[in-house]
Structure 1
Amino acid sequence: MASDPTTLRKRENTRARLLDAAEEIMITKGIGAARIDDVVRAAGFSRGAFYSNYSSMDALMIDLINSRSERITARATEAFDAIDGQPNVDAVMRAIETFRPEAQRMNIMAMEFDLYRMRHPEFAKELGTKSLGEHSTLDSFIQGLAARLLERMGRRPTIPIPTISRLLGVFYMDSLIDRSGAGDDATPFMRTVIEAVLVAFSQPVSPGDACTAGVRNGDSSCPADDLASLLTSFGPVATPPDPRSASGARPGTTPLPRGPGAEGETGPAGTGPQSSDETKAATESSAARASGDETSAT
């Protein structure tokens, strides 16, 4: 009987081995080069075993993408749920590292699948909403993760959570591509992205906590005006080297005076930044007026 436990376990084992074989072929050869004979040979089965589980290679690939999406979602959920207390960037980065190898493989398969759909419009049309399976699963997970992280940090989003999750997802997938071949460490990049996105597009649940946490959040009453201060609420982080010179000006620019009311920052009546020539002229004019006043006084 089809419902017999032994039969069900055997069928599930066959399916798992077919999926494992298909995954390896998709990653090494690409979905366009994958053939049923390659899959059954790698899995150690006959074509009959294949057709008892799948009607076509396309059906197998759809099942592969969706099953791997569910797997990595479960792994990531477990990793983030294990974070104790209020999460910070270090804890988030450690959690991400635990499933990075699976994420890299998933990213390759997702790109292969997307390219296949783009090159075969009839395939995408036939699939309909099924083709969104892996994206809807991962998108839903990232949205839920971003919402939970912000809640545990005592912050609320200032833009829709789906937008935040899409930003995080795009940058994360990009970091996987950079690291998968060149051997570059994408951790600093992802740290900056997580800090910037989660903090820049959220604010403390309690408005009074904004400045005490050292986070500006667009509030002019809060003194923080650089990235390091913006990210203070996450705890100590490594600040990237400042490309500016010792005077504080970026290379190739004239240093501007700092401080309240400095003429070098804004022109008269808020007309905007003055050039160095304008600043020099204003200084000479002021000196001339002062000299004239002293002459009159005598």
Structure 2
Amino acid sequence: MSTVPPAPAEARRRPAREEVRRALLDAAARTFARQGIDGASLDDVAAAAGFTKGAVYSNFGSKEGLVAALVDDRVSAYLDLGLAAVENDPGATLAERARALGDRLTAATDEQHDWHLLFLELWQRTVRSGRTEGAFVQRRRELHAAVAGAVAAHAEQAGAELPLPATSMATLLMALSNGLAIERLVEPGSVPDDLMGQVLALVVQAGPAAGTGADQH
């Protein structure tokens, strides 16, 4: 029979820094969405994640640093989710890819309810302040450029001609995704699961608009 005493609680494995960071980001998304960014304290976020406020400061420095990291995290996740939806079938037509993308982004509205609420608050704060810089604006610009590049690449891969320049298609895609997400949050039954996919498929199947066919990038 072993005489070695059990390890004290403090000697047990501590969560890795990345685990702590992930837990804090997820907790921040929930807490900010439900209480508002200004209404929620770092103590609230830390408690929701099961840590002390010191963990927030050591990982993000401040509330603004946490908000910036959360924006970066969720925008990156949005892009990864969209790319995964259209890269499963390299032989699919552009319309089939558009439909798959629309269906996946609609499903994400339900899966990421807190992020959409937070997005609306960040959008509102940005518009009211008149700021043209900051984490939210900068990441939106980066997302738009990435979406435009992906749209152009998939059109080329599918051997299809876009109805609008890729930059305009990116603007349309982001606006449609955000707009339908808002409607679905307010009244879920008003936005069928396949509506966005149908609309995107119809858009890419349309012929190029006059004067835009050569300017896809």
TM over 0.5: yes
| Pairwise CA distance, 1:173 | 1.4
Among candidates 47, 55, 75, match of residue 49 of structure 1: 55
Among candidates 120, 130, 133, match of residue 138 of structure 2: 133
**Aligned residue number for residue 149 of structure 1:** 154
Amino acid in the other structure paired with 2:54? G
Structure 1, gaps ≥5 residues long: 1-5, 203-216, 219-298
**Aligned residue number for residue 126 of structure 2:** 117
Amino acid in the other structure paired with 1:161? A
Could you tell me how far apart the structure 2 residues matched to 1:93 and 1:29 are?
Answer: 35
Worse overlay, 107-116 or 87-96: 87-96
| Pairwise CA distance, 1:69 | 0.9
Amino acid in the other structure paired with 2:122? F
Could you tell me how far apart the structure 2 residues matched to 1:149 and 1:135 are?
Answer: 21
| Pairwise CA distance, 1:199 | 3.3
- Residues 128-154 of structure 1: CA distance to partner in whole angstroms, max 9, x if unpaired? 353423312321232123213322332
Worse overlay, 55-64 or 84-93: 84-93
Q: Is residue 2:26 matched to residue 1:16?
A: no
Does structure 2 retain, via aligned residues, the 8 Å contact 1:32–1:116? no
What count of residue pairs does the alignment treat as equivalent?
Answer: 194
Alignment partner of 1:85: what SS?
coil
Structure label with greater radius of gyration = 1
| Pairwise CA distance, 1:38 | 0.7
The 5-angstrom pairing of residues 135-284 of structure 1 reads 135-157=140-162, 159-183=164-188, 184-187=190-193, 189-200=195-206, 202=208
**Aligned residue number for residue 59 of structure 1:** 65
Amino acid in the other structure paired with 1:70? S
Could you tell me how far apart the structure 1 residues matched to 2:42 and 2:108 are?
Answer: 24
Amino acid in the other structure paired with 1:29? Q
RMSD: 2.8
| Pairwise CA distance, 1:42 | 0.4
Could you tell me how far apart the structure 2 residues matched to 1:168 and 1:47 are?
Answer: 38
Does structure 2 retain, via aligned residues, the 8 Å contact 1:158–1:201? yes
Q: Percent identity?
A: 24
Among candidates 103, 109, 116, match of residue 107 of structure 1: 116
Alignment partner of 1:82: what SS?
coil
TM-score, length of structure 1 as denominator length: 0.56
Alignment partner of 2:205: what SS?
helix
Does structure 1 retain, via aligned residues, the 8 Å contact 2:94–2:155? no
